[in-house]
Amino acid sequence: MRISTLRFAILVLTAVTVFVCIAGAQNTPTCTVNSDFVRPNCDPNKGWLIGETCMHKTVSCSSVNGVTIKDLGITFGYLTPRRPKGTIVFFSQSGGTTPGESGEQGYPGTYYSAGFQVVQTAWDSDWEDTGTPTKNIAYAAGRAAALLSYIKTNLYDPIHFTQPSAGMCAQGSSGGSAAIAYALAWYNAGSYLDKTVMASGPPLSDIAQGCDVNGSIPLVTVCPAGQLGCNSANNPPSWMAPIAYTDARAGVRQWSDDVTLGPSGVCRRTHGNTSVQASIEWKAMSIADGTIGTFNYPQTSVTAWLCSSVSNNGTMNNSSSEAQLFFQNFTSPSQTFGLQINGVSHCAGPEGVSEGIAPQGETGRNAIEADMIASCVAHH
pLDDT in tens, the chain (380 residues): 333 334 334 434 544 444 444 544 558 999 999 999 999 999 999 999 999 999 999 999 999 999 999 999 999 999 999 999 999 999 999 999 999 765 555 899 999 999 999 999 999 999 999 999 999 999 999 999 999 999 999 999 999 999 999 999 999 999 999 999 999 999 999 999 999 999 999 999 999 999 987 767 889 999 999 999 999 999 999 999 999 999 999 999 999 999 888 888 999 876 666 789 999 999 999 999 999 999 999 999 999 999 999 999 899 999 999 999 999 999 999 999 999 999 999 999 999 999 999 999 999 999 999 999 999 999 99
Q: Is residue 224, in this structure, part of any structural domain at all?
A: no
Q: Is residue 221, in this structure, part of any structural domain at all?
A: no
pLDDT of residue 1: 33
CATH code, domain with 21: 3.40.50.1820
Q: Is residue 269, in this structure, part of any structural domain at all?
A: no
Q: Is residue 225, in this structure, part of any structural domain at all?
A: no
**Pairing verdict, β 195-199 and 167-173:** parallel
125 lies in which domain range?
2-211+288-375
pLDDT of residue 7: 39
Structural domains in the chain (count)? 1
Q: Is residue 11, in this structure, part of any structural domain at all?
A: yes
**Burial class of residue 5 (count of CB atoms within 10 Å of its CB; 0-12, 13-18, 19+):** middle
> How far are the Cα atoms of 216, 299, 325, 377 from residue 351, in angstroms, in the given order?
23, 28, 17, 27
Strand, coil or helix: what is 289?
coil
**Helix (H) / strand (E) containing 59:** strand 53-61
Residues making up the chain, counted from first to last: 380
pLDDT of residue 274: 78
Q: H helices within the chain, ranges in order? A: 2-13, 107-113, 137-140, 142-151, 157-162, 175-187, 207-211, 249-256, 276-284, 319-327, 364-375
Nearest to 40 by CA among 70, 61, 2, 14: 14
Q: Is residue 8, in this structure, part of any structural domain at all?
A: yes
pTM of the predicted model as reported, rounded to 2 decimal places: 0.93
Q: Is residue 26, in this structure, part of any structural domain at all?
A: yes
Using CA atoms, how far apart are residues 230 and 108, in angstroms rounded to an integer? 26
Q: Is residue 266, in this structure, part of any structural domain at all?
A: no
